[in-house]
Amino acid sequence: MKNKLRAHAVARTEGPSRVFAGLVFIATLGALLLLLLSPNGAVQASQIIHTDTDGDGLVDAQEQVLSLNQNNADTDGDGYSDLEELARHSEPTMVHSTPMPSTVDLALSARGDSGRLVVVYAIYLGDREPSDIQLSMGVLLGGRIGQVPPWYFMREAWMSLHPGHEPGTSVMVVEASLPPNFVHAIGNVSIYGIVEDAQTGTSLAADVVDLGSQSGVVFMRSMPPIRSVTQTGGGAAGGSQPLSGSVYLPIPPGGDGDIPMSWVPGEVCYQKTQVVGAGGGVITHEVVEAECREGWDAYCKTDCSSSIGSTYDTLDPAVLIGG
């Protein structure tokens, strides 16, 4: 391993096909170790907590959002860590779901933490060095790919590097924090990341996390995991059928205490949508079904069903990488 980790964050100023100059974020491995070994695990001026009890690279608070086991680095025991399965889009709680072969992969997630909104970039590097890739970040605002200056993301960024399942492979985590008001002010925000070859600028992998604001709480819109097959939801579409829509996971800035009292614990707002528009990589969805579903370690907004008929935009990761 090289003695330096380099993550190059560049901003998009025109469109997904353009690469632009930007901030270069460099942290030495020594500095990272110092940060990781700090007594309280907190490494940021913003006091975001990076306690990772099982050492799999996903901090406890993020595992809670994703309903993973914060005391087990490999929740399903298939040999791939929870972090690697997140980065490579397999199901971390199902032993028969393991990553598809890939060279580089990326997954975005998010959580609320210490009054901040933390965006997590889980990057499967394969056998590449961190310095071999650069990370582009941006935001979809009002149907257009926004110009978010890289310093806005990276001024409070945090990185760590972890071994992958196959020998010589690794998985990198980059976390960047934002003020939640960023989402509250806009309503629906798609944050994207693109992993590029640092030498050629070629896009290698892309992913998007969709965030929304409801009643002063930030939500992360997430595909229902495969494990929801075994969860019996409420309503006629529950039972043993896989959920085909998305779930709206609340990620309050300071933990459970920020959830309005009226919201239902142990449930999640499930939405089924249909695509009503697409163009330039932007996909417009309309909510056609919405109801609280049981069996989740989350909360369901009481008026979940009132979102029926509403629309939101997201980005197509395939378009981001030129697919």
Q: Which residues bind Ca ion (CB under 5 A)?
A: 52, 54, 56, 58, 68, 74, 76, 78, 80, 82
Please, which residues have CB within 8 angstroms of residue 199's CB and are 6 or more apart in sequence? 132
Torsion angle of the four alpha carbons 49, 155, 87, 197, in this order, in degrees rounded to the nearest 10:
-160
78 vs 207, beta carbon nearer Ca ion: 78
Q: Minimum distance from CB of 9 to Ca ion (Å)? A: 24
CA dihedral over 170, 42, 151, 249, signed as positive or negative: positive
- For residues 301 and 269, the answer to whether their CB atoms sit within 8 Å is yes
**In the chain, what is the greatest distance between 2 CA atoms, to the nearest angstrom?**
56
> 10 Å Cβ neighbour count for 43?
22
Question: Nearest distance from residue 84's CB to Ca ion, in Å?
Answer: 7
Nearer to Ca ion, 68 or 290 (CB): 68
Q: How far is the CB of 126 from Ca ion (least distance, A)?
A: 18
**Beta strands per DSSP E along 23-115:** 24-28, 105-113
Q: What is the DSSP string of 203-244?
A: EEEEEEEEEEEETTEEEEEEPPPGGGGGS--SSTT-TTSPP-
Of 112 and 245, CB closest to Ca ion: 112
CB closer to Ca ion out of 76 and 313: 76
Residue with CB nearest Ca ion? 82
- Least separation in angstroms between residue 287's CB and Ca ion is 32
Q: Which is nearer to Ca ion, 105 or 210 (CB)?
A: 105
Cα 303 to Cα 255, 258, 290, 300: the distances in Å are: 21, 17, 9, 8
Q: What is the smallest separation between the CB atom of 43 and Ca ion, expressed in angstroms? A: 15
Closest CB 77 distance from Ca ion, rounded Å: 7
**Closer of 11 and 61 to Ca ion (Cβ):** 61
